[in-house]
Amino acid sequence: MRIIAGTARGRKLASPPGERTRPLLDRVREALFSILGDRVDGARVLDLYAGTGSIGLEALSRGAASCVFVERDRSALECLSANVAALGFGERSRIVRGRVEEQLERPPEERYELVFFDPPYSELRSPSRRRGTLDLARRLFAERLAATGLLAFHYPRDLLDATELAAIGDCDRRAWGTTEIALFEIGGLSSPPADSEGAASRVDQDEPGAEGDRDAS
């Protein structure tokens, strides 16, 4: 796992052993940031269920102004802290240990141009926890985005239907292998991102069998 572009391009990132935390694949991160384009530059970023920080650190490498990382797993936090220090991003980073739900119970300190929401797949596959996780996404969209903000919600491909996503807001859905990302923008997406060739709800095709879960616990 490495930083793909920007000031830290090519730098390797530490990750815990085993499969409890599985970073988003390099090719998916590269495609996501290609879609985000110039909106990363100068952005305030919130990286939730941050794992080892690969998404937030990629944003910082590409010119984001700051990133708040939220993670509760001890081994992931150790790697996240080590990665922030190794890349020299300490001054632009804040690491928060705890549950995402706890952060939403606090008054927002600021709003963010980019929010990355990557809950454990188990939170979405469990009927008893799925509704609560989707409500978190809805609240993030309503309460934590800046006026020009965007929420990127990562989940297993085809797990969430259009009705569930519409309860959060209008979105542009993209899929790569077995992973899917929905992009929600304040005011709705008036037009597809720059690299789109079809409607804003288009789902990109890629080879099957790729895992993109950053935190599979």
Query: What was the pLDDT predicted at 195?
Result: 40
Structure tokens at 116: 């990355």
Contacts of 78 (CB under 8 A, 6+ apart): 16
**pLDDT per position in the chain (217 positions), as tens?**
899 999 999 999 998 875 555 567 788 999 999 999 999 999 999 999 999 999 999 999 999 999 999 999 999 999 999 999 999 999 999 999 999 988 888 877 789 999 999 999 888 998 889 999 999 999 999 999 999 899 999 999 989 999 999 999 999 999 998 899 999 997 654 444 434 333 333 333 333 333 333 444 3
By the 10 Å C-beta count (0-12 exposed, 13-18 middle, 19+ buried), 122 is classed as middle
Residue showing tokens 């077995």 = 178
Determine the pLDDT at residue 6.
Answer: 95
Q: Say what the pLDDT of residue 134 is.
A: 94
Q: Which CATH architecture group holds 26-185?
A: 3-Layer(aba) Sandwich (3.40)
